[in-house]
Amino acid sequence: MDTQQDIKELLATMVGGEETRDAMFADTDSLEQGTKRLQDLLGQVPQTAIGDENFHSLFITTAGDMRVILLMIARSLAAMRRYNTEQPDATLVAEAASLYAPLAHKLGLYQVKTELEDLSLKYSEHDVYYHIAHELNQKKRERDAYIAKFVKTIDDRLQQTGLRYHIKQRTKSIHSIWQKMQKQHVDVDGVFDLFALRIILDSPHEREHADCWQVFSIITDMYTSNPKRMRDWLSKPKSNGYESLHITVLGPDERWVEVQIRTERMDDIAEHGLAAHWRYKGIKSTEGGIEAWLSNIRTALETGDKEPVTGLVEDEVFVFTPRGDLFRLAMGATVLDFAYAIHTQVGNHCTGAKIGNKNVTLRHKLQSGDHVEIQTSSNQSPKQDWLGIVTTGRARAKIRQSLKEAEAGQTTLAKELLERKMKNRKVEYSEPTLMHTIKRLGFKVVTDFYRAIAEEKIDINHVLETYQAQQRRERIFRSVRRTCILRRAAPSLARSLRKCW
3-class SS at 46?
Answer: coil
pLDDT at site 346: 95
The number of residues making up the chain comes to: 501
pLDDT at site 491: 57
pLDDT surpasses 70 at 197: yes
Task: Report whether 201 contacts 263 (CB < 8 A).
Answer: yes
- Name the pLDDT band for 286 (thresholds 50, 70, 90): very low
pLDDT at site 441: 85
pLDDT at site 500: 52
User: CB atoms < 10 A from the CB of 139, how many?
Assistant: 15
- Name the pLDDT band for 277 (thresholds 50, 70, 90): very low
- Name the pLDDT band for 226 (thresholds 50, 70, 90): confident
pLDDT at site 282: 44
Mean pLDDT, to the nearest integer, of 298-327? 59
Relative orientation angle of helices 28-44 and 66-82, to the nearest 10 degrees = 70
155: Cβ–Cβ under 8 A, 6 or more apart, which residues?
A: 167
- Name the pLDDT band for 283 (thresholds 50, 70, 90): very low
Relative orientation angle of helices 140-158 and 208-222, to the nearest 10 degrees = 110
pLDDT surpasses 50 at 284: no
**Tens of pLDDT along 335-383?**
999 999 999 999 999 999 999 889 999 999 998 778 899 999 999 999 9
pLDDT at site 15: 62
CA-to-CA dists, residue 305 to 98, 105, 266, angstroms: 17, 10, 16
pLDDT surpasses 50 at 263: yes
- Name the pLDDT band for 486 (thresholds 50, 70, 90): very low
- Name the pLDDT band for 386 (thresholds 50, 70, 90): very high
Query: What is the full DSSP assignment across 377-422?
Result: -TT----GGGGGT--SHHHHHHHHHHHHHHHHHHHHHHHHHHHHHH
DSSP H helical ranges for 45-139: 53-63, 66-82, 90-95, 101-106, 110-124, 126-138
pLDDT at site 485: 44
pLDDT surpasses 80 at 239: no
Mean pLDDT, to the nearest integer, of 120-129? 91
Of 119-123, 322-326, 340-344, least confident by mean pLDDT is 322-326
pLDDT at site 307: 35
Residue type at 439? K
pLDDT surpasses 90 at 490: no
Q: Is 228 exposed, middle or buried (0-12, 13-18, 19+ CB in 10 A)?
A: exposed
CA angle 379, 385, 386 (to 5 degrees): 65
Q: Torsion-angle region of residue 232: left (phi > 0), alpha (psi -120 to 50) or beta?
A: beta
Return the percentage of the chain with pLDDT > 90, whole number: 26
Number of H helices, E strands in the chain: 22, 11
Mean pLDDT, to the nearest integer, of 72-99? 85
**Tens of pLDDT along 407-422?**
777 777 788 888 888 8
Q: Is 499 exposed, middle or buried (0-12, 13-18, 19+ CB in 10 A)?
A: exposed
pLDDT surpasses 80 at 160: yes
Of 5-19, 43-57, 172-186, 460-474, least confident by mean pLDDT is 5-19
Report DSSP state, residue 13.
H
- Name the pLDDT band for 155 (thresholds 50, 70, 90): very high
- Name the pLDDT band for 495 (thresholds 50, 70, 90): low
pLDDT at site 194: 80
Residue type at 355? I
30: Cβ–Cβ under 8 A, 6 or more apart, which residues?
A: 65
Mean pLDDT, to the nearest integer, of 210-232? 89
pLDDT surpasses 50 at 278: no
**Tens of pLDDT along 460-484?**
888 888 888 888 887 887 777 666 6
Mean pLDDT, to the nearest integer, of 227-245? 84
